[in-house]
């Protein structure tokens, strides 16, 4: 009886007030209750797996002016970034079971250890790094995520970083080697601790 009171009776008046408020706007709560399947993608995350195409669609790139030295270095970095995203997609496919198409791969029971040269990250890991969320919100982000660039100081090694408030990913300009870029991204992702989503 105590359990029933805390679970049902204690919140009943709040739920009634909430539904009455929604129904005061054209019987909206009744409409949602009767057609809940149509409203499901609006109110809940469908939990679909991110692909390279959907992930890239979340981002805009902030380029330097065409023809500048910075632009050439940014194009080199983006080439490595796109190549790295292809490897992330390959890793995600190996990590997932064929039956897990509607679930996030890391939540499956599959255990896959990457071999040397493979990327040990998923698109969900990268999205957590950039936004703090492991999947896009049901109604989308308030603005497109952006890729910005920074210049490396001679003799230093700065890691890629993100501003989760602004939804910005900062990548170093002029990374020409695939292994260098993969190492930078891997170190940055591992060092970020994923907002406690370990």
> Is 165 among the residues known to form the active site?
yes
Please state which of the ranges 5-14, 68-77, 171-180 shows the lowest mean pLDDT: 5-14
- Beta strands at 168-172 and 161-163: parallel, antiparallel or unpaired: antiparallel
Question: Cα separation of 108 and 47, whole Å?
Answer: 13
pLDDT (0 to 100) of residue 101 = 44
pLDDT digits (tens, 9 = 90+) for 145-159: 999 999 988 888 899
Q: Give me the DSSP letters along 94-138.
A: HHS-TT-TTS-GGGSS---PPPTTS----HHHHHHHHHS-SS--T
Helical (H) or strand (E) element with 56? helix 52-57
Is the pTM here over 0.85, yes or no? no
Question: Cα separation of 193 and 198, whole Å?
Answer: 7
- Using 50, 70 and 90 to split pLDDT, how confident is the model at 140? confident
Complete domains list, the chain, with CATH:
2-43 (no CATH), 52-196 (3.30.2410.10)
160: helix, strand or coil:
coil
pLDDT (0 to 100) of residue 165 = 87
pLDDT (0 to 100) of residue 9 = 80
Candidates 25, 96, 145, 165; catalytic one: 165
Question: Cα separation of 184 and 7, whole Å?
Answer: 49
């Amino acid at each position: 009886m105590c359990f029933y009171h805390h679970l049902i009776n204690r919140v009943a008046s709040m739920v009634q007030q909430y539904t009455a408020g929604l129904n005061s706007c054209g019987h909206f709560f009744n409409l949602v209750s009767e057609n809940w399947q149509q409203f499901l993608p609006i109110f809940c995350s469908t939990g679909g797996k991110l692909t390279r195409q959907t992930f890239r669609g979340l981002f805009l790139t902030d380029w330097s002016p065409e023809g500048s030295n910075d632009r050439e270095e940014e194009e080199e970095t983006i080439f490595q970034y796109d190549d790295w995203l292809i490897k992330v997609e390959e890793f995600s496919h190996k990590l997932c079971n064929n039956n897990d198409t509607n679930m996030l791969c890391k939540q499956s029971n599959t255990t896959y250890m990457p071999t040397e040269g493979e990327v040990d990250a998923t698109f969900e890991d990268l999205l957590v790094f950039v936004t703090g969320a492991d999947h896009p919100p049901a109604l989308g982000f308030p603005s497109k995520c952006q890729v910005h660039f920074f210049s490396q100081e001679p003799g230093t090694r700065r890691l890629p970083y993100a501003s989760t408030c602004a939804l910005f990913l900062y990548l170093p300009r002029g990374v020409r080697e695939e292994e260098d870029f993969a190492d930078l991204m891997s170190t940055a992702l591992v060092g970020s601790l994923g907002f406690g989503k370990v």
